[in-house]
């Protein structure tokens, strides 16, 4: 048996060995290009050598092959003749040619659903109008108002990932198999539905591409929720059918997100509630929960458009928020997706804990602001969603 070292010497030897191991690990990480995900301020990023070969850092080759729809995409991107910058200083989003989903500046700002879905395709020039378009517009614009549902009926949207706590969800309506009951659902601890009778709530898990939508949700405890009904949709899909909205579309589809409103540009159609017809609907709707008899009703799924020939920048006293909405209605239009108590009430993301509230600063001083400066009598109703 070897000679036993005194306690003080043994500790010194352990510290020497541990120090050697730590030094060896540091050398390994540096020489192999590994580094913490967040380098110390003032140091070069050790991952830069690898990042230099990332596609975003490669120069464009001479005479590159162009996208077959490049001209149309450029026309859409350049229609306002400007390239905006996000409030955080990051660049505005652009669509990657051939990508099934857009490339976005941030997670909150990422446009939901496929580029070719009904929500994300701009309205074609000279679309075919519904034969009853004039009568429908007269009904919609009778009060000269289009309400912004910001808070009480705003849609609270929460982000989840692989580390988000999961809960069991029970659906209480006897309407068949409820998708939310198929397994544990990631629900952030701060999540809560809106305060309306709809009790609406949406959770987006981008790590799996799933969107969980709730109608009349209630939290029992951190591990248990109840909801009258709800469903799960693929954020990379077409956004229909869904389970938590009267017309059978996804609850996330067409909702004005806070990040895009702050950016000043909405790159998708906007959804709204209306006096909906009880039995008539059209794509992207898959059903109707309407209760208003013709002729004073609108089919769920109907797509409206604000006259694109209007120069919204020249309308006196129009607020910044109204211009953002008006421009989206000119380019992408809006869809009637739910039965409601107003002729038009557009759905916005409800500000929740940790998210800013941009609405008042943009000229929307209260919930259900009626956006009076948008010329609602200059709407038109398309015959089909794609303008054909």
Task: Tell me the per-residue pLDDT of 61-70, one tens digit each, with 9 for 90 and over.
Answer: 666 766 554 5
Mean pLDDT over each residue of the chain, to the nearest integer: 81
Q: Is residue 149 part of a domain?
A: yes
The answer to whether 257 and 349 have CB atoms below 8 angstroms apart is: yes
Q: What is the band of 353 on the pLDDT scale with cuts at 50, 70, 90?
A: confident
Give the Cα separation of 20 and 352 in Å (integer). 49
Q: What is the band of 76 on the pLDDT scale with cuts at 50, 70, 90?
A: very low
Q: What is the pTM of this model?
A: 0.74
Q: What is the pLDDT of residue 38?
A: 33
pLDDT in tens, 222-253: 999 999 999 999 999 999 999 999 999 999 99
238-243: which pairs have CB atoms within 8 A and are 24 or more residues apart? 238/113, 238/114, 238/116, 238/117, 238/118, 238/284, 239/112, 239/113, 239/117, 239/118, 239/119, 239/284, 240/118, 240/283, 240/284, 240/285, 240/286, 241/286, 242/213, 243/178, 243/179, 243/213, 243/215
Torsion of CA 154, 265, 117, 140, to 10 degrees: 60
Q: Is residue 282 part of a domain?
A: yes
Name the domain count of the chain.
1
pLDDT in tens, 314-329: 999 999 999 999 999 9
Q: Is residue 311 part of a domain?
A: yes
Q: Is residue 176 part of a domain?
A: no
Share of the chain above pLDDT 70, in %: 72
Q: Is residue 103 part of a domain?
A: no
Give the Cα separation of 140 and 240 in Å (integer). 25
Q: What is the band of 286 on the pLDDT scale with cuts at 50, 70, 90?
A: very high
Q: What is the band of 108 on the pLDDT scale with cuts at 50, 70, 90?
A: low
Give the Cα separation of 10 and 335 in Å (integer). 76
Instruction: Name the nearest CA neighbour of 349 among 288, 276, 290, 270.
Output: 270
Q: Is residue 330 part of a domain?
A: yes
The answer to whether 344 and 146 have CB atoms below 8 angstroms apart is: yes
Q: Is residue 374 part of a domain?
A: yes
Q: Is residue 35 part of a domain?
A: no
Residue 276 to residues 180, 289, 362, Cα–Cα distance (Å): 27, 7, 30
Determine the average pLDDT of the residues in 141-157.
97
User: Residue with structure tokens 């692989």?
Assistant: 162
Torsion of CA 271, 213, 277, 114, to 10 degrees: 50
Instruction: Name the nearest CA neighbour of 144 among 383, 370, 356, 338.
Output: 370
Q: What is the pLDDT of residue 175?
A: 96
Q: What is the pLDDT of residue 39?
A: 31
The domain containing residue 349 runs over which residues? 133-156+241-381
pLDDT in tens, 332-348: 999 999 999 999 999 99
Containing H/E element for 330? helix 320-331
């Amino acid at each position: 048996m070897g000679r036993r070292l005194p306690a003080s010497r043994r500790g010194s030897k352990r510290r020497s060995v541990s120090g050697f191991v730590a030094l060896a690990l540091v050398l390994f990480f540096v020489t192999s290009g590994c580094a913490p995900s967040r380098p110390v301020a003032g140091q070069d990023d050790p991952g830069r050598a690898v990042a230099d070969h990332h596609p975003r850092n490669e120069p464009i080759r001479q005479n590159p092959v162009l996208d077959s729809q490049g001209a149309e995409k450029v026309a859409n991107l350049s229609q306002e003749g400007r390239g905006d910058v996000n409030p955080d200083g990051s660049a505005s989003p652009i669509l990657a040619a051939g990508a099934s989903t857009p490339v976005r500046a941030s997670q909150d700002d990422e446009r939901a659903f496929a580029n070719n879905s009904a929500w994300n395709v701009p309205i074609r020039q000279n679309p075919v109008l519904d034969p009853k378009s004039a009568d429908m517009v007269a009904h919609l614009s009778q009060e000269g108002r289009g309400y912004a549902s910001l808070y009480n009926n705003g849609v609270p949207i929460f982000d989840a990932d692989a580390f988000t706590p999961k809960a069991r969800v029970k659906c209480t309506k006897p309407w068949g198999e409820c998708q939310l009951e198929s397994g544990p659902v990631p629900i952030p601890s701060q999540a809560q539905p809106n305060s309306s009778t709809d009790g609406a709530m949406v959770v987006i898990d981008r790590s799996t591409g799933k969107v969980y939508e709730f109608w009349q949700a209630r939290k029992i405890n951190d591990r248990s929720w109840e909801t009258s009904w709800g469903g799960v949709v693929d954020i990379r899909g077409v956004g229909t059918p869904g389970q938590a909205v009267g017309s059978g579309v996804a609850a996330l589809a067409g909702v004005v997100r806070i990040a895009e409103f702050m950016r000043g540009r909405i790159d998708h159609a906007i959804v709204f509630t209306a006096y909906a017809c009880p039995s008539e609907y059209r794509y992207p709707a898959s059903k109707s929960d309407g209760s208003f008899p013709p002729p004073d009703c609108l089919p769920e799924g109907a797509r409206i458009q604000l006259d694109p020939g209007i120069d919204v920048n020249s309308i006196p006293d129009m607020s910044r928020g109204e211009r953002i909405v008006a421009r989206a209605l000119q380019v992408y239009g809006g869809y009637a997706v739910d039965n409601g108590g107003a002729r038009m009430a557009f759905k916005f993301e409800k500000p929740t804990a940790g998210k800013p509230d941009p609405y008042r600063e943009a000229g929307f001083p209260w919930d259900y602001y009626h956006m009076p400066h948008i010329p609602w009598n200059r709407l038109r109703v398309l015959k089909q969603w794609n303008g054909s």
